[in-house]
Chain A
Amino acid sequence: MSSSFRVDFLQGLKDCLPIMFAVAFFGMLFGATGVNNGLTFWQTLGSSAAVFAGASQFVFLELYNQQVPVWLVLLTVFAVNFRHFLYSASVGRHLDQFNWVQKYFGFFFLSDPAFAASEQKAEQGKLTPAYYFGYASSLYPVWLIVTALGAYMGNLITDPNALGMDMLLSIYFLALLMGFRSRPNWLTVVLASAVVSAIVYKWLGAPWHITLGALAGIVLAAAIGKPTPSEYGGAADV
């Protein structure tokens, strides 16, 4: 293992530390919710191990309890996770240093925070596999351990809100969101997504506000995004 690999890996791990606390809260909540909703300890842990995506795991629990057909469970999980489709499309542009094993192994760990960190790293310079795995795959064992803890303790977590745990991830995502403010049309995109997301949230409810809100901003960005002159070798005609 080269020293630059270690430096990058540790940098990724270090950047990931604050997010581990937020993830710990959601993982414990999922563990506790799982065993209180008809899953066994091992099934709850198995869901975290196979899926590794909090929102869709909660959706799975909800639908599993309502005894809906499997195809509907899978379709819903797909829709809830559609933002990850956008993540891999976007991050895919920064993977020149990854071989195909690193790419396809790495996609398994492409969570919300891992995506945001990867985009930021690519903006600052180069996204290396070492940094990516230092950040993205470090969350995986944490996710499993806290799921197990939550499932083991069940109802013991009485008032996580007093500790503000429900706000932790939101504040962190807000900070990450602001980190992208120098991108073209950022404010327009964010406002469009926010408005549509709020309407969908009130009208259809979670988790549809994520996919539909995000799509609104992205479609708008495509509609107003003008090619920069450099992309046409200085001969832009618009």
Chain B
Amino acid sequence: MFEFFVAPGNAGNVWLIILLTGVVTYITRSGGYLVLSRFKNLHPRAEAALEAVPGAVLVTLVLPSLLENGSLEVVAMGAALVASLRLSPIWVLAIGMVIVIGGRAAGF
């Protein structure tokens, strides 16, 4: 068992590794709740931290597409940003995608 965990190269045990990555993922997906549900009242700072989670995480998911790409993608994201002030996510997505697909087809 020890060998399995520390020795490099475990091709024979790929199913076990797949299963374990699934278990680890489930632990993260339920763990935050498990830990926090132990507290009756949340400290206001903890509450403020949790309120910040969507903004703090989503921006990190968006960022690489701006850092990795050229100006067309930046323009598309900028247009999507402006559109999102008024429109629902589906329309924002449509506008952004039209710019990306159209721009790439036109050779930008």
Which residues from chain B sit less than 8 Å from chain A, CB to CB?
A: 4-11, 13-15, 17-22, 24-37, 42, 44-65, 67, 69, 73, 76-77, 80-81, 83-85, 88-90, 92-93, 96-97, 100-101, 104-105
Contact = CB atoms under 8 A, between A and B. Distances in A.
A5 interface: no
B24 A77 contact: yes
A102 B59 CA distance: 29
A158 interface: no
A112 B97 contact: no
A214 B60 contact: yes
26 contacts: A18-B93, A46-B15, A47-B22, A51-B22, A57-B21, A81-B24, A84-B28, A84-B32, A86-B32, A88-B34, A92-B36, A107-B29, A164-B104, A170-B65, A171-B96, A174-B96, A178-B81, A180-B55, A193-B60, A201-B67, A202-B67, A210-B60, A213-B60, A221-B48, A221-B52, A225-B52
Contacts of A227: 44-45
Contacts, number: 287
Given A167-B76, A174-B77, 18 more contacts: A51-B18, A52-B25, A60-B17, A67-B8, A84-B28, A86-B32, A164-B100, A169-B61, A171-B97, A173-B58, A174-B84, A177-B59, A178-B85, A180-B54, A184-B51, A190-B56, A221-B51, A222-B49
Interface residues of A, number: 100
Contacts of B77: 170-171, 174
A226 B51 CA distance: 12
A176 to B, nearest CB: 6
B58 A177 contact: yes
A74 interface: yes
Contacts of B30: 88, 104, 107
Interface of A: 18, 38-39, 43, 46-47, 49-53, 56-57, 60, 64, 67-71, 73-74, 77-78, 81-93, 95, 103-104, 107-108, 110, 112, 115-116, 119, 161-164, 166-181, 183-186, 189-190, 192-194, 197-198, 201-202, 206, 209-210, 213-228, 231
A11 B34 CA distance: 28
Nearest to A217: B56
A225 B105 contact: no
